[in-house]
């Protein structure tokens, strides 16, 4: 029987995908930076390896994260992945234990029934056959859900699902065919020989009662082998490539490799580890609030994979980070998009191909031209201060936030200097979000100089956009604090005396402060101290974007307004007296989108100050006039 040629489609496919995976992994490994190579090597022989094995078991086989989000979807993934895994493991044991000899080629386990048609009539072998039938039934139940999901996504609690390419469709069809054809092949064989477990045995007997089982069986064994072979061959060009690649991703991530700011093997691995599950589409506000359905991370990654020009997709994103938070594979979608923005336009594939193999060996991406220069910036003399307050460009557009901060700091007796009172220079984050790192660096150097010279111990900013870049891309001695953290510190220190406002308020987490910088608790502590804070539907890590994001320079005002209105509706569902945020941009955006009063956290706290500070004609009481006479 070992000369049966029907196993060859399977064999070829299997050997192809194994060799392909090894070669691809080797290339990726070679292209890793030296530190990342070391990380990976160290990771393979230490605790990270065990972590990875555990994570693979929990996520790639059991799909714990998907289970948490959606039980039926989790069951579907688990039955297919874990069921198939067990079928292979137990099939290999079966072939090894009950077969003619030990250490069989893989095909012997996969096609065990074809080679041992009358096996499993009595005793332990019979019990084992029942087990194998049970596993097959387990997988088939998952497959049934998968078919339902494809045609009626809403039945599985899916809002949106990704569109398939032709290769995806063919691979999907072959994947769907694998298990039903195995069922029928085994059943017809068992029907012929009167063997089999509760599923294949009974179904086989029933089919054999009116069909020529012996003649039909080989056809289904062929179909089974072809389906497997086709699936393996197509794997590298389909979304299903994520199945093997995710394992590699888990190893790399647990070894401590991160996306960084340049395209690398790791970004490529992440690109291929995306399963196009569509979770990112479901959580994207641009999709459900503004009706834009072609720019979500799944499509962005698909574009990266297919090497198309995706500049428009790359640019059209709020960079709010909700999809990254929701991604079941844990792909670093924000950094991936930023890398692509930095690269600028991609030449089309044909041009890239020519360039890659041409003798001149030009780079395949167009280098961004950089003509901007900030030579005209005036270097200001820095005055020393304990606390340096940097309002930021956006806060200058909401002067009420500035005056509230002044009142608060004066009331607490803070010796501070207002760094950009007479107008300052941008922090650089908007340029960075647009992929213009070099220009951003010039601004960073300019501001760093002022901050260093001031000798301040604390740098306070009212803008989460500035806050994020101060923390991440500035090299500073001063402790960087968002004003919500700073006010919280003042309250904890006891230097701020505040009354209690009898107002019901809700809090909106700004993207750059919450997901971007992990500041969730301090603003809530401050608000709860002065008012009654109510819960909102989506908060914390899954809080909504206001729609005003600087991360997107292509979105129209109309679409932004739709996103803002939708987010405002969700936030004000409990009809609060006030909507509190901690970002001047969110404040401005929501101000146009809702009838509810929108305030910054600083304004709320300033309203709770015991008695209004005597109107001082704009002259802050505790700031030395010396420090302000400049400019």
Partner 1 sequence: MKGASKHVIVAGGGVAGMEAAGSLAEMGYRVTLIEKGQDPGGHLLQWHALFPDRRPAEEVRGYLRKRLNHENISVITSTVVEKIRHHGHDVIVNLSGGTEERADAVIVATGFDLFDAHRKEEYGYGIYDNVITAAELEEMFSMGKVAKADGTLPSRVGFVHCVGSRDEKVSNNHCSKVCCVTAVKQAIEVRKMLPACEVFCFYMDMRMYGPYYEELYRESQEVHNINYIRGKVSEASVNISNRLVIKVEDTLAGRPLKMEVDLMVLMVGMEMSKQGAGLAVASGLETGVNRFLETGDHHYGNNVSRMKGVFYAGTCTAPMNITDTISHARAAVTETVRYLNGR
Name the site residues for partner 1 (rule: CB under 8 A): 396-400, 402-403, 421-423, 557, 561, 588, 591-592, 617-619, 625, 628-629
Residues 6+ apart with CB under 8 A from 123: none
Q: Minimum CB separation from partner 1 for residue 318, in Å? A: 17
Spatial contact of 201 and 195, defined as CB atoms under 8 Å apart: yes
In the bound state with partner 1, the residue whose beta carbon lies nearer, of 534 and 592, is 592
139 or 567: CB nearest partner 1? 567
d(CA 461, CA 362): 44
Closest-CA residue to 476 (of 487, 467, 485, 484): 467
As measured in angstroms, the least distance from the Cβ of 587 to partner 1 is 8
Q: Alpha-carbon distance 78 to 101, whole Å? A: 32
Residue 603 Cβ vs partner 1, minimum distance, rounded to whole Å: 11
Closer residue to partner 1, CB minimum distance, 295 or 623: 623
In the complex, the smallest distance separating the C-beta of residue 168 from partner 1, rounded to whole angstroms, is 40
Q: Decide whether 69 or 396 has the Cβ nearer to partner 1.
A: 396
Is the Cβ of residue 10 or residue 389 nearer to partner 1 in the bound state? 389
**Taking the complex as a whole, how short is the minimal distance between the CB of residue 291 and partner 1, in angstroms?**
17
| Closer residue to partner 1 in complex, CB, 258/624 | 624
Answer for the pair 459, 559: CB distance below 8 angstroms, yes or no.
no
In the complex, what is the shortest distance from the CB of residue 556 to partner 1, in angstroms, rounded to a whole number? Answer: 9
Q: How far apart are CA 553 and CA 248, in angstroms?
A: 35
Q: Is 219 helix (H, G, I), strand (E, B) or coil?
A: helix
Rg of the chain in Å (alpha carbons): 31
- The least distance separating partner 1 from the CB of residue 534, rounded to whole angstroms, comes to 25
Furthest-apart CA atoms within the chain: distance in Å: 103
How many CB atoms sit inside 10 A of residue 427's CB?
27
Taking 3-state DSSP, the helix, strand and coil percentages for the chain, each rounded to the nearest 5, stand at 60, 5, 35
Q: Which is nearer to partner 1, 110 or 404 (CB)?
A: 404
- Dist CA 63 CA 70 (whole Å): 11
22 versus 397: smaller Cβ distance to partner 1: 397
Q: Measured from the CB of residue 569, what is the shortest distance to partner 1 in angstroms? A: 17
- 502-521: b or e for each residue (b if 16 or more CB lie within 10 Å)? ebebbbbbbbbbbbbbebbe
CB of 421 to partner 1, least distance (A): 8
Given the complex with partner 1, which of 9 and 428 has the nearer CB atom?
428
8 A C-beta contact, residue 600 and residue 579: no
| Secondary structure string (H, E, C) spanning 542-607 | HCCCCCCCCCCCCCCHHHHHHHHHHHHHHHCCCCCCEEEECCHHHHHHHHCCCCCEEEEHHHHHHH
Q: What angle do CA 438, 430, 373 make, to 5 degrees?
A: 40
Nearer to partner 1, 40 or 394 (CB): 394
The distance of closest approach from Cβ of residue 621 to partner 1 in the complex, given in angstroms and rounded to an integer, is: 12
Give the number of other Cβ atoms within 10 Å of residue 350's Cβ. Answer: 8
User: Among positive and negative, which fits the CA dihedral 293, 295, 299, 303?
Assistant: positive
- Cα gap 29→266, rounded to integer Å: 9
As measured in angstroms, the least distance from the Cβ of 159 to partner 1 is 28
342 vs 588 by CB, closer to partner 1 = 588
Which lies closer to partner 1 via its Cβ, residue 253 or residue 406? 406
Output the smallest distance, CB 573 to partner 1, in A. Answer: 23
């Amino acid at each position: 029987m070992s000369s049966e040629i029907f196993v060859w489609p399977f064999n070829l496919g299997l050997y192809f995908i194994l060799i392909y995976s090894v070669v691809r992994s080797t290339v990726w490994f070679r292209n890793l930076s030296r530190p990342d190579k070391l990380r990976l090597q160290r990771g393979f022989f230490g605790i990270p390896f065990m972590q990875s094995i555990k994570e693979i078991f929990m996520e790639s086989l059991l799909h714990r994260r998907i289970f948490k989000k959606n039980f039926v979807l989790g069951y579907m993934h688990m039955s297919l992945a874990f069921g198939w895994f067990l079928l292979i493991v137990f099939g290999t044991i079966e072939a090894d234990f009950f077969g003619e000899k030990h250490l069989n080629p893989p095909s012997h386990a996969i096609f065990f029934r074809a080679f041992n048609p009358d096996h499993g009539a009595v005793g332990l072998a019979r019990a084992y056959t029942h087990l194998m039938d049970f596993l097959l039934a387990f997988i088939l139940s998952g497959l049934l859900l998968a078919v339902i999901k494809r045609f009626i996504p809403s039945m599985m609690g899916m809002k949106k699902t990704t569109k398939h390419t032709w290769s995806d469709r063919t691979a999907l069809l072959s994947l769907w065919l694998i298990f039903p054809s195995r069922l029928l092949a085994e059943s017809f064989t068992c029907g012929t020989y009167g063997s089999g477990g509760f599923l294949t045995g009974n179904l086989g007997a029933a089919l054999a009662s009116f069909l020529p089982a012996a003649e039909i069986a080989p056809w289904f064994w062929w179909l089974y082998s072809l389906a497997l072979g086709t699936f393996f061959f197509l794997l590298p060009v389909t979304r299903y490539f994520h199945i093997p690649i995710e394992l590699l991703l888990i190893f790399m991530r647990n070894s401590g490799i991160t996306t960084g700011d340049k395209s690398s093997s790791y970004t490529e691995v992440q690109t291929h580890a995306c399963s196009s599950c569509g979770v990112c589409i479901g959580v994207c506000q641009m999709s459900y609030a503004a009706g834009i359905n072609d720019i979500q991370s799944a499509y962005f990654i698909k574009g990266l994979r297919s090497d198309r020009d995706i500049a428009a997709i790359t640019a059209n994103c709020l960079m709010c980070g909700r999809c990254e938070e929701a991604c079941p594979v844990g792909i670093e979608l924000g950094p991936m998009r930023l890398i692509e923005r930095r690269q600028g336009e991609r030449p089309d594939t044909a041009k890239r191909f020519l360039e890659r193999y041409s003798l001149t060996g030009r780079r395949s991406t167009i280098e961004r031209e950089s003509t901007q220069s900030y030579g005209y910036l005036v270097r200001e003399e820095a005055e020393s201060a304990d606390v340096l307050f940097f309002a930021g460009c956006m806060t200058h557009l909401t002067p009420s936030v500035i005056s509230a901060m002044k009142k608060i700091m004066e009331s607490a007796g803070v010796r501070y200097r207002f760094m950009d009172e007479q107008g300052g220079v941008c922090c650089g984050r908007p340029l960075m979000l647009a992929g213009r790192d070099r220009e951003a660096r010039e601004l960073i150097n300019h501001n760093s100089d002022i901050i260093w010279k001031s000798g301040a111990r604390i740098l306070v900013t009212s803008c989460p956009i500035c806050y994020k870049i101060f923390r991440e891309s500035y090299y500073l001695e001063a402790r960087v604090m968002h004003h919500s953290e700073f006010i919280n510190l003042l309250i904890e220190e006891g230097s701020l005396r505040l009354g209690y406002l009898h107002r019901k308020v809700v809090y909106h987490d700004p993207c750059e402060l919450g997901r971007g910088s992990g500041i969730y608790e301090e603003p809530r502590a401050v608000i709860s101290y002065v008012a009654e804070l109510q819960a909102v539907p989506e908060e914390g890590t899954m809080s909504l974007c206001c729609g005003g994001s600087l991360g997107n320079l292509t979105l129209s005002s109309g679409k932004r307004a739709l996103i803002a209105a939708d987010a405002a509706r969700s936030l004000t569902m409990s009809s609060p007296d006030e909507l509190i945020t901690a970002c001047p941009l969110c404040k401005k955006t929501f101000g146009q989108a809702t009838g509810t009063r929108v305030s910054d956290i600083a304004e709320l706290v300033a309203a709770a100050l015991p008695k209004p500070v005597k109107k001082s004609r704009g002259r802050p009481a505790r700031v030395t006039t010396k420090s302000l006479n400049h400019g």
